[in-house]
């Protein structure tokens, strides 16, 4: 039960942080949803840092990983919003924004995870 509460707490904090970033960055309803994009890339970077640290130093407990990676990063990033926003682009015929947002999210998301792990590895 403790693990469920840790994921719940981390997820709530992550979701709140994502909401604030969305409010700050999603200012134009007809453009790239920069808040979701930023949350997903930052979340990828953070999970790279967290998991890289966890793998490098065996002092990171399973509970810490549940709170930070599963909870916070899981609540902070949002695949469902990403998928819906792409649906809106396709429905409106905005193929350029669809392609830019999808490819940018995938490429930069993977790069952010790898970069986070690499930073921990070299430290």
What is the spatial distance between Cα 106 and Cα 61, in angstroms, rounded to a whole number?
Answer: 29
Question: What one-character-per-residue DSSP string does 57-111 give?
Answer: -TTS-HHHHIIIIIIIIHHH--HHHHHHHHHHHHHHT-HHHHHHHHHHHHHHHHH
Q: Known binder of ligand: residue 74?
A: yes
Dmax (CA) for the chain in angstroms is 50
> Which token pair is 100?
């830019």
Q: Known binder of ligand: residue 78?
A: no
Binding residues: 74, 77
Residues annotated within a binding site for Na(+): 74, 77
């Amino acid at each position: 039960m403790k693990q469920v509460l840790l994921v719940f707490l981390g997820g709530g904090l992550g979701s709140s942080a994502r909401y604030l970033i969305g409010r700050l960055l999603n200012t134009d309803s007809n453009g790239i949803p920069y808040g979701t994009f930023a949350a997903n890339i930052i979340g990828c970077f953070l999970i790279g840092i967290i998991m890289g640290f966890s793998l490098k130093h065996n002092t990171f407990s399973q509970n810490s990983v549940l709170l930070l990676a599963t909870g916070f990063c899981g609540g902070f990033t949002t695949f469902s919003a990403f998928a819906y926003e792409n649906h809106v682009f396709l429905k409106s015929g905005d193929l350029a924004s669809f392609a830019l947002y999808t490819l940018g999210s995938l490429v930069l998301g993977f790069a952010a995870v790898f970069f986070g792990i690499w930073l921990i590895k070299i430290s």
